[in-house]
Amino acid sequence: MRHSISSTRIFWYYNGRKLIRAGTAVALLAMVAAAWVSWPAVSFAARAITAPSSSLAHEGGVVSILVIGHDWEYAADKRRDWRRGNGDTLLQASIDVSKLSVNLTSIPRDVRVRLPNGRVDKINAAAAIGGGKMQSEAVERLTGVPVHHRIEVGPDFVGRLVDGLGGVQVHVEANMDYDDNAAGLHIHLKKGWHTLSGREAEGFVRFRDPVDADLGRVRRQRIFAAALMERLKRVGPFQAPVLYRAIRPAMVTDLTEEQLMLLVRWVVMGARVRRTATLPVQPVSLAYVRVDWRRALPVVQSMLHYTPAEVRRLRECPVQYANLGKTPGAAQAYATRHARLGLGRATCTSDYDGPPVAKHSVTIFYRQGLEKEAALVARLFHEPTLKRGDTAGHALLVAANP
């Protein structure tokens, strides 16, 4: 479900004795803006699906939000709609609630995958085929890391934000000249300092030099992101609601107002970005790449906020996955993901005679003293239930009813 969001409620709310003003809430917008401009750019079956919670709290203590930056899609009548466009930018923000730390991981858009509808294509095609929901599922199947929520922004998001700010000052490293009449993209910037307008900012972050290609574009986007963050710091409490109304047409989300408020509260409490990374890939052809899992493993583990000590702890913890539902191979898929993420070998079974587990849910049974291990495994699922009880001779028993 897509929620409309009241600009007044987003920027003014009362929390105990403290009134959180609009200026502090702009940090939430900064996260979305930085996601859109900073990090542009194996299948896993079976997942536990539950109804969205009104809170962002999860048993594993980590919540994951996928930021999708759409490209324009042009209809036959030449009308354009970004909601039907490819996922030009895919960035997963993983938040450790207890430590208020954020890890940001970019998913390269040219990764070749089998999409949820069975089609083999670039991963960013999922957004155009099935919207943000399918794009989230495609990313989750690729990495094995749950996507709890999503924020989608259009290609005019940056322009709207920059124009609302009255421009952003950046240094252009070299002359930039490019014209794409079909896409309506025209980039003409001279070397030197500029206060970019919204349209110029869009050109700056999208420009691809034939020499340094995507690497150069990523570098320029990081430069722009830093300048944008500095400019956002100077936004006052009365300007922020106006700014929000300017960008609202270019953003949709499945987060509720309450959840957005909680994100703002985390920012106010001092949440910080601890790590940024791009999922390592290797070329398959001129058009496609694939994930280099040898180099990607530490990145994916950081998306789950696992420390090396916690990974070692899980490797020493015998886990069995039990399939209670009618989805063939679900337990095997979970066990395969467990091993692929470097968490040790896990067994699977379809022979389960323990307590009932609700449809479309997961219950993790653990022995006394293994509460920590159970919470770590809980990060692999959407909204699991943790219970101390009979584990059929294993340290942990994950009973899934997909």
Q: Per residue in 50-74, pLDDT tens?
A: 333 346 767 778 999 998 888 766 6
* Mean pLDDT across 98-102: 85
Q: Measured between alpha carbons, how far is 321 from 348 in angstroms, rounded to an integer?
A: 5
Any idea which architecture 308-401 has in CATH?
2-Layer Sandwich (3.30)
**In the structure encoding, which two tokens stand for residue 78, read together?**
């030449």
Write down how long the chain is.
Answer: 402
Residue 166 DSSP SS3: coil
* Mean pLDDT across 265-282: 78
Q: Which residues contact 22 (CB under 8 A, 6 or more apart)?
A: 11, 12, 235, 236, 237, 238, 239, 240, 241
- Planar angle of CA 174, 180, 183, nearest 5 degrees: 125
Q: CB of 105 within 8 A of CB of 303?
A: yes
pLDDT at 158: 84
Handedness of CA 120, 121, 124, 125 (dihedral sign): negative
Longest dimension (CA), the chain: 71
Q: CB of 260 within 8 A of CB of 151?
A: no
From residue 131, how far is each of 41, 109, 134 by CA, in Å?
Answer: 18, 15, 6
Ranges assigned E (strand) in 16-126: 18-20, 62-70, 87-96, 101-106, 112-114, 120-122
pLDDT in tens, 157-196: 888 889 988 999 999 888 888 887 766 678 888 999 999 9
Handedness of CA 45, 341, 125, 136 (dihedral sign): positive
Q: Which residues contact 24 (CB under 8 A, 6 or more apart)?
A: 264, 267, 268
Q: Taking the domain 7-156+236-303, which CATH number applies?
A: 3.30.420.590
Boundaries of CATH 3.30.420.590 in the chain? 7-156+236-303
Boundaries of CATH 3.30.70.2390 in the chain? 308-401
Structure pTM?
0.79
Q: What is the dihedral of CA 155, 158, 164, 169, to 10 degrees?
A: -150
Q: What are the start-end ranges of the H helices in 50-170?
A: 125-143, 157-165
For the beta carbon of residue 117, count every other beta carbon within 10 angstroms.
12
Q: Measured between alpha carbons, how far is 230 from 30 in angstroms, rounded to an integer?
A: 10
Q: CB of 65 within 8 A of CB of 138?
A: no
- Paired with 253 in beta bridges are 151
**In the structure encoding, which two tokens stand for residue 292, read together?**
């280099």
**In the structure encoding, which two tokens stand for residue 7, read together?**
């600009």
Would you say residue 5 has pLDDT above 50?
no
pLDDT in tens, 105-126: 888 888 999 999 999 999 988 9
Q: CB of 264 within 8 A of CB of 25?
A: yes
Q: What are the start-end ranges of the H helices in 250-306?
A: 257-268, 293-303
Average pLDDT, the chain: 79
From residue 173, how far is each of 176, 193, 197, 210, 224 by CA, in Å?
Answer: 9, 9, 17, 15, 12
Taking the alpha carbons at both ends of the chain, their separation in whole angstroms is: 21
Confidence of residue 23 (pLDDT cuts 50, 70, 90): very low
